Amino acid sequence: METKVKAWWLGHSAIKLESPSGKIIYIDPFLSGNPSTPDSEKSPDNIDYILLTHGHEDHVGDTLDLAKKTGCTVIAQVELSHLLKKHGLAEEQRVEFNKGGTIHLDDFSVTLVNANHSSSFGGEYAGEAGGLILSFDDDICFYHLGDTNIFSDLELYKELYEPTVIAVPIGDHYTMGPQEAALCCEMLEAEMAIPIHYGTFPVLIGDPEDFKDFTADYCDTKVLIPKPGEQFLG
């Protein structure tokens, strides 16, 4: 797939993207404590935006330290954003929104959509978990499903946003497993899918090859299985 957007999977649910204008975006930057993240990717120096799907430690990850280090903008659901401020995130770096809301940033926009999962941060309620849809000007639409199981809203998201590339949790136990994830691909009809949220810990037993096989049975979405740190777009 030819695209101006560049993207890397950094292990677990962490994604790094570079927009066509060169803006660096991290989604769910669980890096330094992530056993699957390559050492070279654990402490980035250049970030423009951090986007969070929900408040769990394996998604918020290094957000506070990276925000302090880089001065980036952190975009999160309302309750989670307030908790991050309580834990030291500077007010001028904080942007909050809620489900259905869209924020326009440089050469892309980000919309917070539904996900079926829980969310807490620092032992406190952090609002509802969500997914993130990034629409890049004159380029792709990238949908990070966050932590979720399958749900029927995905058919609406296909019509509304027409995602090109999707990042889909497959690990089971805390999210859906490979077969449900493959059915999500059928519902969304994206050109490409990558599996996330698997293999990081022993309990996350979902197999990406099973996901690829199930997806091939259900739809024409191409499944790419990058290694942690590997670039999969651009």
Rg of the chain taking only CA atoms, in angstroms: 16
Low-confidence spans in the chain with pLDDT less than 70: none
In angstroms, the CA 128 to CA 131 distance is 10
pLDDT of 2: 83
In angstroms, the CA 218 to CA 204 distance is 23
pLDDT of 1: 79
pLDDT of 217: 98
In angstroms, the CA 55 to CA 94 distance is 15
Tell me the sheet residues that pair with 60. none
The pair of three-digit structure tokens given for residue 231, joined into one six-digit string: 């670039």
Contact 154, 188 (CB under 8 A): yes
Its pTM stands at 0.98
pLDDT of 78: 98
Give the contacts of 26 (CB within 8 A, at least 6 positions apart): 14, 15, 16, 17, 44, 47, 49, 50, 51, 66
* Domains of the chain, CATH where assigned: 6-226 (3.60.15.10)
Helix axis angle, 208-218 to 178-188, nearest 10°: 40
